[in-house]
Amino acid sequence: MFKRIVSGIRSIGHRVIESIWRLGLASRFFMLVLLKSGTSFRRFGLVVRELYYSGVLSLIIIVVSGLFVGMVLGLQGYETLQKYGSESAVGTLVALSLVRELGPVVAALLFASRAGSAITAEIGLMKATEQLEAMALMAVDPIARIVAPRFWAGVISMPLLAAIFSVMGIYGGHLVTVIFIGVDEGSYWSQMQSAVDFRFDILNGFIKSCFFGVAVTAIAVFEGYNAPPTAEGVSGATTRTVVTSSLVILGLDFILTAFMFRGVS
C-alpha cells in the first residue's frame, strides 16, 4: 500500500517535471525561432508562400463558419431581444459578440485545426524523412528556412482570418434578421455603428487574434519540430497541436478579456 502511494506521488512528480522541462524546451525553441527570423524578412517570398498554405487555404472554412455563426447569432439574438421589444439592437449584439469574442476565438480554433495541424504534420514528416537533417547538413538552418517562415505566415494570417470571420458573421446576421425576418435594415447598421467602439472592440479583438496567432503557430511548429520521427510520433504531435492550441486559446482569451474589458461598460 505504502509502495503504491509512493509510486503514485513519484509518477505525478515525474509528470510535473516532464511538463516543466517541455515548457522550457518550448520557450527556448520560441526564442530561437525569433532570433532566426531574419531570413524570413530578407526573403519575404518564403513567408508569402506559407501565407498561401496557412492563410488562403483556410479561407473557405473561415468564410463558411463565420457566415453560419453570424446567422445563428442573429436568430438567437432576435428570439431573445424581441421579447423585450428591442429587436432593432440585434445588429449590435451580433457585431459585438463577433468582434470581441467569437471572431478571434472561433477563427483561432478553426485555424488551429486547419492550418496548425497541417504545419505540425508537414514539419514532423520532414523530420521523419530526414529532410531537416539533410538541410542542416547542407549548411542551411532548418529553423530559419522552414520553421520561421511558417511561424510568421501564421502570425500574419490569424488576425486577417479573424477579421474576415467577423465580417462574414455580420453579413450572416444581416441575412437572417434583416432579409429573412424583416428587422429594419437602417437600425441594424446604425445601432451597430454607434455601439461598436474602434478602440475597445475592434482593436482589442485584433490584439486578441494576434496573441492567438502567435500561440497557435508557435505550438504547431514546436510540436512538429520535436515530433518523434515515426508515424505515431507525427500523429501524436498533430493531435497535441490541436488540443494544446485549443486550450491555450480559451485560457488566453479569458486572461486577455479580463485585462481588456475590466471596468468597461
User: Should residue 32 be labelled a site residue for other proteins when binding is judged by CB under 8 A?
Assistant: no
| Number of residues written out for the chain | 265
Nearest-approach distance from CB 36 to other proteins, in angstroms: 11
Quick one: 39 or 187, whose CB is closer to other proteins? 39
Closest approach of other proteins to the CB of residue 63, in Å: 26
**Neighbouring residues of 114: CB distance < 8 A, sequence distance ≥ 6:** 57, 58, 61
Choose between 101 and 141: whose C-beta lies nearer to other proteins: 141
- Alpha-carbon distance of 254 to 252, in angstroms, equals 5
Q: Is 129 in the site for other proteins (CB under 8 A)?
A: yes
Among 85, 138, 254, 265, which residue interacts with other proteins (rule: CB under 8 A)? 138
In this complex, which beta carbon is closest to other proteins, that of residue 137 or of residue 258?
Answer: 137
Question: How many chain residues interact with other proteins (CB under 8 A)?
Answer: 15
Which span (122-130, 167-175, 190-198, 231-239) binds other proteins, by CB under 8 A?
A: 122-130
| Contact (CB, 8 A) for 261 and 200 | yes
Contact call for residue 1 and other proteins (CB under 8 A): no
Could you list the beta-strand ranges (E) of 11-137: none
* 145 part of the interface to other proteins, by CB under 8 A: yes
Contact flag: residue 131 with other proteins (CB under 8 A):
yes
CB of 138 to other proteins, least distance (A): 5
**For residue 109, which of 160, 51, 65, 47 has the smallest C-alpha distance?**
65
Shortest CB 140 distance to other proteins, Å: 5
The piece of 134-142, 177-185, 192-200, 231-239 that touches other proteins (CB under 8 A) is 134-142
- What is the b/e burial string over 48-84, where b = at least 16 CB atoms within 10 angstroms of the residue's CB? eebbebbbeebeebbbebbbebbbebbbebbeebeee
Which of 25, 31, 64, 140 forms a contact with other proteins (CB under 8 A)? 140
Q: Which of residues 206-265 bind other proteins (CB under 8 A)?
A: none
Min dist CB 126 to other proteins, Å, is 8
Under the criterion CB under 8 A, does residue 133 sit at the interface with other proteins?
Answer: yes
CB under 8 A, 24+ apart: contacts of 199-202: 200/260, 200/261, 200/264, 201/95, 201/96, 201/99, 201/100, 202/99
CA dihedral 22, 23, 25, 28 (to 10 degrees): 180
CA nearest to 69, candidates 163, 157, 165, 158? 165
- Give yes or no for residue 48 binding other proteins (CB under 8 A): no
In angstroms, the CA 13 to CA 163 distance is 43
CA pair distance 38, 145, nearest whole angstrom: 10
The least CB distance from residue 114 to other proteins, in Å, is: 18
**What does the binding site for other proteins look like in residue numbers (CB under 8 A)?**
125-126, 129-131, 133-141, 145
